[in-house]
Amino acid sequence: MEDNFENEWLKARRQVLAYCARSTGNQAEAEDIFQRVAIRAWRGYSNFRADSSFLTWALAIARREVARAMSRVKMEDSLDELAEKGPANMPIATAPEGTGPAYNWLAEAAQAALAAGVLTDIEAGVVIDRLAFQDLSWEELGKKFHTDGTGCAVIHCRAIPKLRVFLFIYRPAILGGIRSISQAFAAASADEKNPLSKDEAEVFRRIVLDGQKSYRRTGLRPLLRSACAKVIKWLSLP
Buried b (16+ CB within 10 A) or exposed e, 116-152: bebbeebbbbbbbbbbeeeeeebeebbeebebbebbb
pLDDT score at 206: 96
Cα–Cα dist 63/68, whole Å: 9
Q: Are 158 and 123 in contact (CB under 8 A)?
A: yes
pLDDT score at 205: 96
Residue 177: CA atoms inside 13 Å, Cβ hemisphere, count? 1
What percentage of the chain reaches a pLDDT higher than 70? Answer: 84
Cα–Cα dist 203/212, whole Å: 10
| pLDDT tens column, 183-201 | 999 999 999 888 999 999 9
Rounded average pLDDT over 141-168: 89
pLDDT score at 89: 38
pLDDT band at 2 (very low <50, low <70, confident <90, very high): low
Q: Are 188 and 195 in contact (CB under 8 A)?
A: yes
| pLDDT tens column, 209-230 | 999 988 998 889 899 999 999 9
Residue 58: CA atoms inside 13 Å, Cβ hemisphere, count? 28
pLDDT score at 88: 41
* Assigned architecture for domain 2-74: Orthogonal Bundle (1.10)
Which residues, including other chains, have CB under 8 Å from residue 38's CB and lie 6 or more apart? 9, 13, 154
pLDDT of 95 over the 60 cut: no
pLDDT score at 51: 75
By three-state DSSP, how is residue 95 classified? coil
pLDDT band at 5 (very low <50, low <70, confident <90, very high): confident
pLDDT of 78 over the 60 cut: no
Cα–Cα dist 165/112, whole Å: 13
Q: How far is CA 145 from the centre of its chain?
A: 19
What stretch(es) of the chain map to CATH 1.10.1740.10?
2-74
Rounded average pLDDT over 31-41: 87
pLDDT score at 149: 85
Q: What are phi and psi of 50, to 5 degrees?
A: 65, 25
Cα–Cα dist 124/145, whole Å: 11
